[in-house]
Amino acid sequence: MLYRSVSTKSFSISIEKYTMNYLFPYLLFFIWFSCRTANKPRQEPVSPDKFTMAEPDTSKQGTTATQSGTTGEKPRPHPVPVNVNVNVNPPPPVIQATADSVFATLERTPCYGRCPNYKITIYKSGYTLYEGKRFTDRIGLFTCFLTRQEMGNILERAKSINYFNLQDVYDSQVTDLPSVITSIREGNRVKTVKARFNVPPALRNFEQYFDSIFENKTWTPMAQH
């Protein structure tokens, strides 16, 4: 009897130790996990019917989406050409009116009547600028080109009348007369003659020849800015 009593007591102590060492921690963990799960909001499963596809924005595609017939298809950008000159008719070149670039000039000044008032400037390149001011068929700026031969003819005609040795001014006290101012450049020498009164006939012929060169020329109006 004594042995059975001791054995029963020992068995009870072993169960108590087993419960405290092994089962009790698991019980606490189970209680903590249950409380944490109960406080967490439940997520309902999403039905496949609730999925929606976003419609493509075709408001910025203009007429490309309509022409292609495919909804949501982005138009392909057109390739941009490189180094393409879109200016079909470029403006005429502007020549700087510096003294070194001018070959010859002829200017007719105004008078008290209806005297033609204009100026012609010829550059070394052949580029010629006409500036019509009053009582002339062309009012404004016009341009044309002279050939090397035509420029050479002007220089030869000037030499034939000994232009570089003429007086610089032919004038008097008479006021109601227009002046003709001419200039020629050859190399480093430049000669300008103002002819208004008592002008040598050879110089008058040279002035008329200067004008006659442009009788059959086509003048192009110069764009005004």
User: Confidence class of residue 161 from pLDDT cuts 50, 70 and 90?
Assistant: very high
pLDDT digits (tens, 9 = 90+) for 1-16: 444 444 555 555 566 6
- Structure-block tokens of residue 143: 């341009």
- Structure-block tokens of residue 12: 């009870």
Range of the domain at 172: 99-221
Nearest to 169 by CA among 148, 147, 191: 191
Residues 143, 129: contact at Cβ < 8 Å?
Answer: yes
Rounded Cα–Cα distance for residues 136 and 108 (Å): 11
Rounded Cα–Cα distance for residues 190 and 98 (Å): 13
Whether 188 is in a domain gets the answer yes
Rounded Cα–Cα distance for residues 113 and 185 (Å): 32
pLDDT digits (tens, 9 = 90+) for 47-75: 545 544 555 555 554 444 444 444 555 65
The pTM of the full predicted model, rounded to 2 decimals, is 0.57
Whether 35 is in a domain gets the answer no
pLDDT at 49: 52
What average pLDDT does range 34-47 have in this prediction?
Answer: 59
Distance of CA 170 to the CA centre of its chain: 51
Whether 68 is in a domain gets the answer no
Whether 84 is in a domain gets the answer no
Phi/psi region, residue 162 (left: phi>0; alpha: psi -120 to 50; beta: rest), is: left
Residues 170, 182: contact at Cβ < 8 Å?
Answer: no
Whether 140 is in a domain gets the answer yes
Whether 65 is in a domain gets the answer no
Whether 39 is in a domain gets the answer no
Question: What is the tally of structural domains in the chain?
Answer: 1
Pairing of strands 169-170, 189-195: parallel
Residue that has been written with the tokens 């996990």 in this structure: 33
Nearest to 194 by CA among 173, 175, 179: 179
| CATH number for the domain harbouring residue 128 | 3.30.1560.10
Rounded Cα–Cα distance for residues 206 and 166 (Å): 12
Whether 85 is in a domain gets the answer no
The more confident residue out of 18 and 82 is: 18
Opening angle at CA 162, ends 161 and 166, nearest 5:
105
Phi/psi region, residue 140 (left: phi>0; alpha: psi -120 to 50; beta: rest), is: left
Rounded Cα–Cα distance for residues 135 and 117 (Å): 6
Rounded Cα–Cα distance for residues 69 and 99 (Å): 67
pLDDT at 201: 97
User: Confidence class of residue 144 from pLDDT cuts 50, 70 and 90?
Assistant: very high
Q: Please give the single-letter amino acid code of residue 222.
A: M
